[in-house]
Amino acid sequence: MKRPSYRMITMIGLCGALLIGCSSNENMDTNTSTVPSEETQSSSYINSESSSATSEESSNSESGESTESSLIPEESSSDSSSNEEPISTELQMDKEKILLPTFSPETVTENIKTNEKNTYTVSYINNQGEILDEVSGTRYGSPEAAEGDLTVGLPNRFFETADVPEGGEDLMSGITGYDIEKGDQKWLIWEDEEWVFNIHSFAGEQLSKRVEARDMITFLYDNPLPVPRSKGIVYLDYEPGGEDVVMVIRWQDEEMVYQVKTTRSSLEALEVTASLKQPSE
């Protein structure tokens, strides 16, 4: 057997080296091709986290805005009484017999106190929970029965102009005021068309009753009260101390008697009463 020549051995060695080199390059290419895949996966994870965080922030932001906005309808709903059914629709009395105020000097809440076929009472309550006005209407069996109850239940005695002595003092515009004293109590009385007015107070109090009477007369020139058929009364009852007052405005309209009872000032009470109207159809 012939021994391989040196040249042949050299050729075999060179071929082996080339084969090994090719295999190494293929492995390097394979390793290099996997690196971008890992980088891409890592980048995708970061973007996923960023997107998730952005989504959470957006969700929290939207949730916060939703919570704040939910407070707005609650606040505005108290001022949106125009969207609600008028309280007159809940009253049992015939609608043509109902009178309710269309004006208040401040925001009030309406509450039905009495609701029957022949009588109703609606209270008007301020934001502090105080009843400012009570408006009522009562239907009697006849106009005579209605007139007979017109002065019943007032806090103190009510004087008609026929009860006062002759004389008196001119208040303004030809309207005469009369003073009556009974013990420690005083009344100033006057008449204006179908209405009779009484201001009741206690002796020794510094009340400018005549000034108040003139202010009321002046106000009613431009803001007339409902026209009674046939009679109406306005009664201011000052409690001892001269600060707290209850005012009752009551009038007859044939078989109906209407009343506004209030703790407002006299001019505000007259303004509320002058605004009374039948509910709109």
Domain boundaries, the chain: 87-274
Q: What is the DSSP string of 56-106?
A: HHHHHHHHHHHHHHHHHHHHHHTT-GGGSPPGGGG--S-GGG--B-S--SS
Lowest-pLDDT choice from 25-34, 61-70, 230-239 = 61-70
Higher pLDDT, 161 or 211: 211
> How far out from the chain centre does Cα 214 lie?
34
Three-state DSSP class for residue 172: strand
Tell me the CA distances in angstroms from 221 to 11, 15, 135, 172, 263, one per residue in order: 133, 128, 23, 12, 23
What pLDDT sits at residue 52?
43
Average pLDDT value for residue range 145-149: 94
Highest mean pLDDT range out of 23-27, 67-71, 205-209, 211-215? 211-215
Average pLDDT value for residue range 131-158: 94
What pLDDT sits at residue 150?
93
What pLDDT sits at residue 112?
97
| Structural element, H or E, at residue 178 | strand 175-182
Does position 212 have pLDDT exceeding 50, yes or no?
yes
* Mean pLDDT over each residue of the chain, to the nearest integer: 77
Does position 33 have pLDDT exceeding 50, yes or no?
no
Work out the pLDDT band at 2, boundaries 50, 70, 90: very low
Lowest-pLDDT choice from 42-56, 95-109, 138-152 = 42-56
Rounded CA Rg of the chain: 45
Regarding pTM above 0.85, the answer is no
Tokens of 252: 């007859």
Cis? peptide before 230, omega within 30° of 0: yes
What pLDDT sits at residue 95?
94
Give the chain's end-to-end CA distance (angstroms, integer).
131
pLDDT single digits (tens) 174-191: 999 999 988 889 999 999
- In the chain, % of residues over pLDDT 90: 54
Q: Which residues contact 246 (CB under 8 A, 6 or more apart)?
A: 155, 236, 237, 239, 261, 262, 263
Fill in the DSSP letter of residue 116: E
